[in-house]
Every structure is written in C-alpha cells, then in structure tokens.
Structure 1
Amino acid sequence: MEKINLTLSNTLTRSRQDFTPVDPAGRQVNFYVCGPTVYERAHMGNLRTYLFADILRRTLRFAGYRVKTVMNITDVDDKTIAAAVKKFGKQATVGELKQLTNQIYRDFTQDLDDLNIDRAQFKFVRVTDVIPVIREFIIKLKAKGYAYQAEDGSTYFDLKKYEQVFGRYGELVGEKFLAGKQIQSRTKVDEYDKQSPSDFVLWKVPVKDGSINSPQGEGKISWEDPELGPGRPGWHIECSAINRREFGDQTIDIHLGGVDLIFPHHTNEIAQSEALTSQPFVKYWLHTGHLTVDGQKMAKSLDNFLTLSDLIEKKINPLAYRYLILQANYKQTLNFTWESLTAAQKGYTNLKTKIAKLNKPATRLTGLFAKPDQAYLAKFTEAVSRLNTAAALATLQAALADAALSPATRLATIRVFDQVLGLKLI
C-alpha cells in the first residue's frame, strides 16, 4: 500500500498536524497505549480506547508504516492492591496479587479477541515483570536531583526542580497550567485533582496500618531494594519505565489513552521521562473521549459501568459494539444507550448479510484476483487519513451498494477496507 498523508489531532499542541515519524527513514512508528488496571474487568468505556488503538494501528499499517505497539498492564497499584487485600486479607502477598490480576488479565484478552483486536500485533508488558527496570529509572532520577526520599521512607518526584529546569509542567492540560496554583508538598495517592499539583510518589513504602487510600493496609505486597527500601512503584512511573525499556531514550511517535488520563497520569509521565532523558517524551498525544451513561462518564467508581460480558448476555455481537464505535469520532463524548447499540447490531447484521449474498463461490474465486475500485479506494484513504472512521464506513457501504461495480470488484474493495475497520466482513 502506498503511504498516505495522515493527520492527527495532537492534544499537546491542541492542533491537527501532519504525521511525520521520528524515524529518520520515515518507516518505523513507535506507538504506546495506556492499558488496563487489572483489578476488575474492563468496562465498555475502557474498551473504546483499546478499539481505537487497534484501528489506529491498522491505519498506520494501511499507510505503509511498520508499527511497534506496546501496551502496559497495570497489575500493581492502589486499586489492584486494595482488591487483593479485600479478597485475601491483610496479609495478602505478591503471589496472591498476581493470582487476582492473572484472572482479570485473562478476561481482558478474551474481550480483545471478541472485539477482533489483533493481540498478536501488540506487545503487552505487565508492571510486575519490570520492577527492576522501574527501580533503575527512579534511582537515575535521584542521581540527577529530580527525586528524593522523604521522611516517610517513600521516594517522590521533585516538581519544583523539574519546573525550574523545564518550565512546562502541565502543558498537556493547557498553557500556563501552574499559573495561580500552589505546588503542594507531596501526595502518595495515584489519582488527584489538577487543582492540586504535588510532588508525586515514585516508590511507595508499604502501608501496614491503613490510610485513607488503603484503609485495610497493603498486606505484604512490596519488593526489596537496597537504595529505595522495601516498597512498590507509584502508578505514573510505571508507564515511563516501560516506554524507556521498549523504545529507548528517543522520543516516541504516538501515545494514546483516555481523556481522563491527561492529568495527572500523562502529565507526570512527561515530567519523569523528560527529566531523565532531556528529550521530548512523545511527539503526538492522542486521547479518546468518554463513554457516558445518562450524562455521566462510565466509570467503576460511579458503579454505572457495563462490561462486554453484559452485552454478550443480552445476545449482542461484540462486533456490533465495534461497528458503533466506528460511527463516532474517537475524540467526542459518546453516550451509550441500548437503543443505539441495538441499532448498531441491526446495521452490522444487515451489512454482513448483503456481503454474504455477493460472496458466492464463483464470485469469491474471481474476487481473490480482482482489484479494489480506485475511486472508492481514494475516498476511503482520504477518510482514514483523518481518522474519520464514520466516513470510511460510509464509503464501504456506498461501494457495496454500487451496482455499476462487479461483485468481484466490490468484494475486493471491501476486503481492503476491512483491513482497517476490522469488522470480519468477509
């Protein structure tokens, strides 16, 4: 496939930009996706991000690039530890934590398979498998003066030092993010309000007697380190360390996550990584919009979430959800209703039925040698170059309905389009 001119809406610059890889040869793309926290099954809002990650990866391949796609699996953090302590008691161990997260990870991979997200094209990295890499990263930050060990034994990132040197903390949120804000002393929690920028934790000493964040304590879930002491990583350092392990110290091309990760998670990733490497961390930041229910974002904390298994129980084909997601702009808030999902199921089923009528044995054979229609291919390419999946889907439907094209040509055209859409149409 000829390379096409992709344009991406970059959260960092708040503008649409032509995509140019960091790779001097212009062929290799390094792509990182913030993956799930495996304390409970991923909900449909989470899965929207991973669906878009698969569509973007397919689009990059369609555009002629080689793509290395990495996704973290957060299997140790505040939420996973709280879940392990709740299940196994106050003496929960690392082994019991992994027992819990292993099952949730298996559920996650099943969801990916059901949604036709090609797992073979992603490299999944579990945080508990790279603890030494994380510790090394933190120790290097300490050596450079960007991290310090506080009186509570935990190690924190020095936000004031970063701001003195780089002067752009929070630029992913907006210009002059720190204007009018007082940098707080420290925070040990993984998530906090953007009105309270703080020195955030890199390495947490175990909480034995409970706290507001971990009322039951954290059991025996920690790792030994001669310099940092016994503890475990904070949430934000995990992705920075995995990025460096997989892509080195060079700027990576694309970093994707949900819009709710812009602060503090992605903001803190930038600070940590740039403090260590003195290089821009990411060239293009992309963020998916919320999936809402009754005007509120779908979230486990709000107890208003649905999982893919809930849809399957109601006889909804998982690919109908993929079809629904393709009809919306990835950045926009999408309101979930059973009516819209049922309509998507009907639309997807009708599409498959029409294609099946074309895909008769004789047509199937000639379709293998036919070429896609160039006019429709040009329209489809224009749509996906802007990540306009709704327009791409409409182009596919128009090609299918075009009686001026032979059945073989229509099948060949649809086969090419489905390399990006991933709907298993043929």
Structure 2
Amino acid sequence: NGGAWMSLCDGKLQCKEGHSGPTHESIQAVFDLQSFRPAVNLSNPTVTNISFTLYAVLGVKAQILTTFLWLRLYWFHEFLIWDPDECDGVTKISLPVKQLWSPDIIVYDVDDDVSQACPFVYVNHTGHIRWDRMLRLVSACNLKIFSFPFDVQNCTFTFGSYMHTNVRVSPALTFKEMSGNSKRYLEASGEWELVNILGETSILQFGIDEWDIITFWVVIKRRPILYVVNLLIPSSFLMIIDILSFYLPPHSVDRASFKMTLILGYTVFLLIMNDLLPSTANGTPIIGQSIYFSVCLALMVISLLETVIITNVLHHNSMKYKEVPNWVRIVVLKHIARLICYRWLEDEAPATKQEEGKSNNLNCTSPPTVTQTENNVPVPHSTSNYGGNCGTFHVLQGKWCHVGYILDFLLFRIYLLLISCYAMVIICMWCIWISQD
C-alpha cells in the first residue's frame, strides 16, 4: 500500500490502450486507501458542498416535522484524477460508495433518519464526486400554531460532519436555487407549500475542537382550505342557526330545548373534529378547542341562559301573580324600551290603577292580537286588556309579557354585538397573518 500511496501522490490514474477509463489496478489502489481522507497534505481540509431538494412535507404535528429530502453531496478526491485524452475520452465513471472515503455528513437536529442512499457515486475526471441520497427525516421543530390554519412554520436543518474537524461544508447551490427547485415539487404535494429556504454557515466549537456546520431555515406555509371547509364553515353554520333561534316566539315554543340540542350537536362536532386540530406543549391554535371553539361554545351557553331568563320573566306570575315592581317599569318599560326603539300603541299603555285593582281571577274576554313594530318585533296586545298572549291573558301577566319581550330584544342585540365583535377580531387577525406571508 505504501507504493500505491506514492504512485497516487505522484500523479493521475493510469490508463491502458483499449481500456475505457482508468485501469482496474489504479482504481483498486484508491479502494485500498478507503480509510484515509483523500488529501495529499492531510493538513488541508476537504470541502464538502451540500444541496438538497425538499420533495415532500409528510407531517407537522406535536413539535415534530417529517420531511422527505433529496440530498446531494459534492467533494474533491485528490486521488481520482485522470486525463480523458489518455483514457479513450472517458470523463465520468461511477464507483461503489462503500469502496471510497465519503464525508460523514449528518443532520444534527433529527430524531430519526431513514436513508436510502444510492450505492454508487459519480466521479468526474477532475476528481469531483457527487453522491445522491434520499432521506426521510423526522426532526424537531418549534411549531407556532396560534394562527392555525393560516400558520407559517420556520424549521431548521443543520448539516455537518459527525467526527472530522477538518471537513468543511458549504452550499453547493444558492439558497434561491434550492428554494426554486423545491417549490416545483411541493406545488402539488400535500397541505404545505414552501415559502423560502434560507441558510448560513457557522462554526460549532467544543473545547479546542471546531466543526463546520451549515444551517438551512425551511419556511413552509399551510394550505388552509381543508380546515376552512371542515372546521370553520360547519361551526359558522351552527352559530348562525343559534342566532336565528332568537326569532322563535318564546311564549309558545320551547326555545331552550332547541338551543340545548344545538349545544349537544356542537359538542359532538368538536369531538369528531378533534383529530384535525394540532396541539403542542407551548401553544394552542386560535381555532383550537381552548380558544375559538370554546368561545363559540360559551356564546351558545350564554344564548341558552338568556332564553332561561326570558322564559322565567314571561311566566313569572303564572303562580304568584306578583305586580311588576316600579323600578322595573321605569328601567325596562320606559328607558330600555326607548333605547331599543320598542314601541306599542297608545291604547296599549300600562293598565290603569282601576284595572290593576280587578280580581286576580279576571280572564281576558277576547283573544290577543299581534302588532309588528318597525323593527319587526312582535308586540302582543288585546282589545280588552293589556297583553293577552302570555298563557292565561291575565292583566299582570300581560305586563310581565312586555317586560320579557323588551329584555329578549335587548339581550338579542347584545348577543349579536358580541358575536360580531368576536368575528371581526378573528377575521382581522387572520387577514394580518395572510398579508404578512
């Protein structure tokens, strides 16, 4: 082997007449030196050029990024040089990678590496070697999913030598070229699209030893259409139905049962869609069960509580026959009714004291009628007494009926205002995130 080392150091690979390329003997001499870094002067570093193509994003979940890469390594082998004119014009050959020295380049921030390396390398007559590898990487990534499903993730791949301190790394292509090549493959691949690939080289130091590393930042953006169709639109439909349920007449329809059915259906919807929502230890998406869906569920519960309050007011005196307190008349029948533009006809004004002194067993003498106000709010009234469409048409119940309708309309407007503000905040936040991409 000493003679082979000297002959290789003296010059180029030998070729024989009638042979296409270097001879088997001269290449075997290179194979015998597999354990040694291919440098005549071992103090000179071996430069390894790295490029990769992001072919697919297989999964992003629970701080784990699963990707499929086409990795390409280039390095210079000082002992694999020949003259094409002396070797029948051959400029490139392929050799088994197991028979040659190869740089021990690894990805530092990877939990699992499933590699399908090509068993051969391509050797140019100038001594430059190209080795292609297909990698399925399971790497750690600090996911920021608060803006899900309009989130943008920035994950890193750090390449460097595992053991050799005299192996230098550098990008084989510009980062713009790597990004362009990857975008062509990712355009029709899964729910993620590539935004950009950035990178820089640096030195990793442990004690007196230094390693060259190159760090790539892979910026990917989620395609939100799947989650908009499967999560946001069904949730919005249920919220719209809950809003429309306020138009059910509270005095004749069991509105509370209808709303409880909606809440039950919404809960089942959340259980079914739970697997689609990402979750991490350091954050929750805005449409996750603890934020967006939880707020929607809370609004539906508030809507149910409002219905319970109104039902209680409408039937307040069904057994007690209590008079409407004076402060309720002033606050509700006067000020709140004026605030929400709730009006009734003059002859429907609150009953006089003479009517109030009538027997508690007095019944209405004619069926109630309904007048529509300019806000399309039904106002029950009777031609013979005040408010007769609440149960037994008693005079006192008629007064409580007006109180119930006014409070119902007031709480309905407050509920609409809450939902509108919440929807505007969510939409504005998503628009900001989309524009920043």
| Structure with greater proportional helix content | 1
Normalising by structure 1, what TM-score?
0.22
Structure of higher CA gyration radius = 2
Normalising by structure 2, what TM-score?
0.21
| Structure with greater proportional strand content | 2
The structure, 1 or 2, with the larger RCO (C-alpha pairs under 8 Å, 6+ apart) is 1
